[in-house]
Structure 1
Amino acid sequence: MHRVTQGPKFTVARAEGVWLWDESGDRYLDGTASLWYCNVGHGRKEIADAVHRQMTELEAYTVYGDFANAPAIELSERLAAHAPVADPRVILSCGGGESIETAAKLARRYFAAVGAPERTHLISRTGGYHGLHGFGTGIIGMDRFREGFGPTVEDSSVVPHDSAAALEAEILRVGPERVAAFFAEPVIGAGGVYAPEPGYFEEVSRICRRYGVLFVADSVICGFARLGDWFGIERFGVRPDMLVFAKGVTSGYLPLGGVVVDGRIAEPFWNRPGNPFHHGTTYAGHPSCCAAAQANMDILEREDLFTVAREIEVQLESAVRTLEDHPLVEEVRAGTGVMAAVKLNAEAAERGVTSPDVFTEARSRGVVVRAIPETLLISPPLVITWEQIEHLVATVRGALDAVAAR
């Protein structure tokens, strides 16, 4: 029996596999892999053991300037080998938001280095989530995350997420000679789970090449088997100029992220003396975090969670589509990756039912999903079973019924 939460506080005490326990000992199905990241599931002892071994040898040391460490080098080589980026170079960071900062600064700095310093404009998409750091807040595709902070990043704009033609029109409006980069998630995640239409990314890639705009794939949510591939963007047959990653690279066991950069973009800083890219953070390339990533990637490969994810994707879509007939549901979005969205309809709004209401009711019944305005998001660990998926969806239906009855 689960206690109905009387306030916003929910203290998670421990976790294993797809399950969470609160401080009272009640168990919950983790329907969101925390914040989209616990791809291999909770409580993997081998990741903890790998981190412990690394900490007893070299717990941490900066990689700023000429400094390096073996775990950072080995991880970077492994990531580069899997990345759909030409002649890749890897810049490590501590997470997704920090990696977006890196990619945005590098895009602008690259053009300055090749004699086009006026190319500073950054374009993103509606619904796109790119972290909440400085550049991320400036290019995020959701107004609620921008409001109340005053002016953010200058020279940025947002286009509809489902229109390549709108991207081209915006490049021409701004002036191709002023546009540095276009940022896009392979599948929009936190903004509501919107998959691209067939051919969208192929056309976007052609547009970016046509006008010399850098294409930055934000694979923070979509990577490390969430879409059945290493970085998610491979699914759409394109090669970005930069690829941002985090979250699933360690399954969240320790903070780590980074940017995979096309060799052409790295070249002015890689091969030209006296032209540094003045950017870095204290804990980037942290050897203990890199050890966690290596152990996590070992699990992804050994258990072939890429194939498993493609199977779960079908199972999750099949189950969650059964909610489309609920009187409070307008739309279900699923079928590309292990992620889904359940949008509430106008009747729900008229009756005063909100997505946080359904979230709270589902949690009181032992399932954790995520609520954004008008929508519930689902993105479980990739080790979830068919029976657990059915339990998750049945609980969400029960929660919808309960709030409807009230």
Structure 2
Amino acid sequence: MALAANDQTKPNDLDPFWMPFTANRQFKQQPRMFVEAEGVHYTTADGRKVLDGTSGLWCCNAGHRRKPIIEAVQKQVEKLDFAPTFQMGHPLSFEFASRLTQMVEGFSQVFFTNSGSESVDTALKIALAYQRAIGQGTRTRLIGRERGYHGVGFGGISVGGIVANRKTFGPMLNGVDHLPHTHDLAKNAYTRGEPEHGLNLADELERIVALHDASTIAAVIVEPVAGSTGVLIPPKGYLKRLREICDKHGILLIFDEVITGFGRLGAPFATDYFGVKPDLFTTAKGITNAVVPMGAVFCRDGIYDAFMNAPDNTIELFHGYTYSGHPLACAAGLATIDLYKDEGLFERAAELAPYWEDGLHSLKGGNHVIDIRNIGMVGAIELAGIPGKPTARAFDAFLKAYDKGLLIRTTGDIIALSPPLIVEKSHIDFIVDTVGDVLKTVH
């Protein structure tokens, strides 16, 4: 039954929604509302156009309100709204899994989830269960990295390395250790693409192995490009070296590709871009262009097979979600990857990347700017922080950019940018010009 509006329940009452990763009090005093979107623009409640410089939350890679995806979801909801995937199935989930595994060589299965956080926890659980399945049950330790972001599940924040995401929630998972992050401003400031310095940081994994012994370590998880912490790009050879050390010690390597997957770097996945294959990699966001929440864990050849020696009619992996492989998500996903292919969006991103790079680096010398970095269609502008007021300068830039018609993302005192892959050069010019204007006036 519909609830009538009254003094306690109002259609426009902002208080009941506890907003995620938001300064709730500030927002509810001066709300910023999007009511419509199309292409690379949002429309605000007061009718202004705002260019989406962040692909929503790194997720609307093909832009907004794309008709092929809308029509696929509409058609599917009229035919089959939900079907369980516990001991049952529906055709689209198998079709979508097959299409996904055809996108990348050497990965035979995907496990469907509903978000990046769920993808990470799923990958960690598969890694632990796999080690046990192959007779390596002592391998229970997980290794993450400082400043890493792997969602907000307890597994993800345990292997993650952003202090604000961890400090409130107790001891988290036991037996987790962390590699050092790769951000070295003194040596790598204003790098275009992969930094020259920092390969040696991968060798810290050898130190961790010596400390704990390889027989206790199940997996290492890293973002190929650390997005949410402010676009930290791996030094040349770093990911390859991690792969070599993991192979040497029988440790699984997991890439968190929730941000880098589906064209963000100008290739289907970061594993293609860097030429380094993990054992598992997580995805979400761009898998459905964010139209319906979904994620997937890609498993290299042989992972799934290790579980298939269980007795007949026995569940091989006690893990899953009610909405794993949801019909509407699969419909959206199939339409999304068709759109990526039909419009050549991954190739388009690769072609635009040099123009994007030049535009961003033209901001060198701007007010408070201490670094600019980029890779593919991702960029970051790092600002000197205000002593005693971390994040204040970047948040000021965020608000001023919004007022000027541009949505940016900030983390700490870093401006992160990741526009939809359908962006035009004129849009890139607008982004660069607007950020440049904003930088002139930030406190």
CA contact (8 A) 1:229 1:235 kept: yes
Separation of aligned partners in 2, 1:67 and 1:294: 20
Q: Which residue of 2 aligns with 1:209?
A: 247
In structure 2, the partner of 1:328 is: 368
State how far apart, in whole Å, the 2-side matches of 1:221 and 1:205 are.
Answer: 20
2-structure distance, mates of 1:57, 1:279: 28
The answer for unaligned runs of 5 or more in structure 2 is 1-26, 183-200
**What's the TM-score, normalizing by structure 1?**
0.94
Separation in structure 1 between the aligned mates of residue 320 and residue 35 of structure 2, nearest angstrom: 34
CA distance in 1, matches of 2:241, 2:377: 25
* Map of 1:377 onto structure 2: 416
Alignment of 1:147-186 (within 5 A): 147-162=167-182, 163-186=201-224
Matched residues in 2 for 1:7 and 1:373: separation? 22
Q: Which residue of 2 aligns with 1:281?
A: 321
The aligned counterpart of 1:313 is 353
> Which residue identity does 2:133 align to in structure 1?
A
Q: Which amino acid aligns with 2:334?
A: Q
Instruction: Give the match for residue 301 of structure 2.
Output: 263
- Where structure 1 has 5 or more consecutive residues not aligned to the other structure, the ranges are none
The one-letter amino acid of 2:285's match is K
CA distance in 2, matches of 1:57, 1:154: 46
Give deviations 1:146-201, integer Å, cap 9, x for gaps.
Answer: 01111111111111233111122112211100000011112111111111112111
Deviation per CA, 1:245-302: give whole Å up to 9, x if none. 1110111010111111123222232343346210000000101100100101011001
The match for 1:69 among 59, 66, 90 is: 90
How far off is 1:142 after superposition?
0.8
Measure how far apart 1:203 and its partner are. 1.1
Alpha-carbon distance in 2 for matches of 1:61, 1:350: 53
Determine the C-alpha separation between the residues in 2 that align with 1:57 and 1:68. Answer: 15
The answer (yes or no) to whether the contact 2:367–2:440 under 8 Å persists in 1 is: no
8 Å CA contact retained: 1:141, 1:158: yes
Q: Is the 8 A contact 2:393 2:442 kept in 1?
A: no
Q: Which residue of 1 aligns with 2:268?
A: 230
Do 1:127 and 1:192's aligned partners in 2 also have CA atoms closer than 8 Å? no
| Residues 349 and 341 of structure 1: CA distance in aligned 2, closer, same or farther (over 3 Å) | farther
Provide the residue aligned with 2:286 in structure 1: 248
2:409 is aligned with what amino acid? R
Q: Indicate the SS of the match to 2:142.
A: strand
Q: In the TM superposition, what whole-angstrom CA distance separates every residue of 1:291-326 from its partner, at most 9, and x where no partner exists?
A: 100101011001111111112221211111111111
Q: How far does residue 345 in structure 1 lie from its aligned partner after superposition? A: 1.8
Q: Closer, same or farther in 2 for the Cα pair 1:91/1:151, shift >3 Å?
A: same
How many Å separate the matches in 1 of 2:29 and 2:411? 18
Higher helix residue share: 1
Separation in structure 1 between the aligned mates of residue 139 and residue 244 of structure 2, nearest angstrom? 19
Equivalences, count: 397
Aligned pair partner of 1:297 in 337, 349, 372: 337
Question: Which position in structure 2 is the counterpart of 1:355?
Answer: 394
Q: Which residue of 1 aligns with 2:16?
A: none
- More deviation, 13-22/233-242: 233-242
1:125-146 deviation digits (Å, cap 9, x = unpaired) = 2222110011001111211110
Aligned-pair identity (%): 34
Aligned match of 2:100: 79
- Tell me, yes or no, if structure 1 residue 191 matches structure 2 residue 212: no
Q: How many Å separate the matches in 2 of 1:7 and 1:213?
A: 49
Please state whether the residue corresponding to 1:123 is helix, strand or coil: strand
CA distance in 2, matches of 1:31, 1:137: 27
Matched, 1:139 2:145: no
Which whole-Å CA distance do the structure 2 matches of 1:130 and 1:81 have between them?
A: 25
The one of 120, 132, 137 aligned to 1:100:
120
Alignment partner of 1:227: what SS? coil
What secondary structure sits across from 1:299 in the alignment? helix
Question: What SS does the corresponding residue of 1:341 show, helix, strand or coil?
Answer: strand
